[in-house]
Amino acid sequence: MRERVYKIFKKKRLEAKLSQAKLAKLARCKKSTITNIETGRCIPREKTICKLGKILGFSQHEIIKYLELARYNRRDRDEIQMEYVVKSAERILKRHRQ
**Cα separation, 8 vs 16, whole angstroms:** 12
Can you state the angle between helices 5-15 and 31-38, rounded to 10 degrees? 120
Q: Does the pLDDT at position 43 exceed 70? A: yes
User: What CA–CA distance (Å, rounded) separates 98 from 94?
Assistant: 7
What pLDDT is stored for residue 2 in this prediction? 46
The dotted CATH code for 5-73 is 1.10.260.40
Give the pLDDT band (50/70/90) at residue 16. very high
Encode pLDDT of 47-92 as tens digits.
Answer: 998 999 999 999 998 888 888 877 777 777 777 777 777 777 788 7
Give the integer Cα–Cα distance in Å for 33 and 45. Answer: 11
Please state, in angstroms and rounded to a whole number, the distance separating the CA atoms of residues 7 and 2. 11
Taking the C-alpha atoms of residue 56 and residue 74, their distance in angstroms, rounded to an integer, is: 22
Mean pLDDT throughout 28-51? Answer: 89
